[in-house]
Amino acid sequence: MVSTGIGTNTIYPDIDLSIHKLAEFGYTHVYFDGTVFGVPEEELVRILQVCAQTGILPFAAHAPGQFLPHNAGGLERTIARHKVTLDKAAMLHCKSVTFHVASVESVRNEETSAFIEQVGKQAFDEMNWHTLRELALHAQSHGMSIAVENLSRDIVGNYCRTVNDLKRIIDGAGQPNVGICIDTGHANISGLKAAEMILEAGDLLIETHFNDNFGWLCPENAVNDLHRPPGVGTVDWLRVMEALDRIAYEGPIIFELAVKGDFHALDDLLRTTYSNWRMITRAWQYVKAGLPELDPI
Do the domain assignments include residue 295?
no
pLDDT along the chain (297 residues), means of 10: 84 95 98 94 96 98 96 93 98 98 94 94 97 98 98 95 98 98 98 98 98 95 94 97 95 94 83 96 90 67
User: Does residue 296 lie within any of the structural domains?
Assistant: no
pTM of the model: 0.95
* Structural domain for 27, as ranges: 6-290
- The three-state secondary structure class of 80 is helix
Domain membership flag for residue 148? yes
* Pairing assessment for the beta strands 178-183 and 29-32 based on DSSP bridges: unpaired
Whole-number pLDDT of residue 260: 78
In a domain, 183, yes or no: yes
Residue 297 lies in a domain: no
CATH number assigned to the domain comprising residue 106 = 3.20.20.150
User: Looking at residue 4, what is its pLDDT?
Assistant: 73
SS3 state of residue 214: coil
Q: Largest alpha-carbon pair distance within the chain?
A: 59
pLDDT at 251: 95
1 belongs to a structural domain: no
pLDDT recorded at residue 2: 63
The one-letter amino acid code at 254 reads: I
The pLDDT assigned to 266 comes to 93
Q: How many domains does the chain have?
A: 1
188 φ/ψ sector (left φ>0, alpha ψ -120 to 50, else beta): alpha
10 Å CB burial of residue 166 (0-12, 13-18, 19+) is buried
Asked whether residue 62 is domain-assigned, the answer is yes
